[in-house]
Structure 1
Amino acid sequence: MNGRPLAGRHAVVVGGGWAGIASAWRLREAGADVELLDAQDQLGGRSRGVPLGDRLVTLGGKNIGKNYTRFRGFVTDHGGGDWEDLLLSCWKGDGIVPVTTL
């Protein structure tokens, strides 16, 4: 987006899954003050990380095939490395990190 057309506006995004995270990010890029609400205590929706023994694994909402170029681009822009490694990654802080770095 060019400029900050939403500067001074407040937006509330309900749902912290991938669509909500992307929406909140785009609104913030446009200048809005964004509040992201989710019923869970962790972002990610159906693909959030959960403990499995002493490891954190992502649940994976669905298979994200190669045709999901915009989603893959968003993930790459926010810290996702090699795409296949994303299967063992989670959202932490301001970006996506491999589970092995937690």
Structure 2
Amino acid sequence: MRRFWFLKIAGMILVFFTAASALVMVLWNWLMPAIFGLVAITFWQAAGILLLSKIIFGFGKGGKHGHQHSTPWKHWQHKWHNMPEDQREKWKQKFADKWCTGRHETETPEFKKEAE
């Protein structure tokens, strides 16, 4: 009886993986050559892409069991909303100093001091 149960589950996984691979192949061949000029792929290449993406990005948790925040973004969103306003301003300034490249060198206070 156990063997039948195992075969049934394995068959369902195989059917799902086959359908998902076919979907990846159809969507890839429909979108990627037209948008990015890439070549069409075969079913087996689509299966490889699907498997590789699952290895890299994970197979999922199957629901919201076990962890309060299901994604890192939700964790930071929760943290941000519970952060005091003065700490938010410090984070904003730190982020702007490190990542915002819209400022030109001539706009920095150090450059203005050198120019005077």
Q: Confirm or deny a common fold (TM above 0.5).
A: no
- Normalising by structure 1, we get a TM-score of 0.21
Q: Relative contact order (C-alpha < 8 Å, sep 6+): which is higher?
A: 1
Structure number having the greater strand percentage: 1
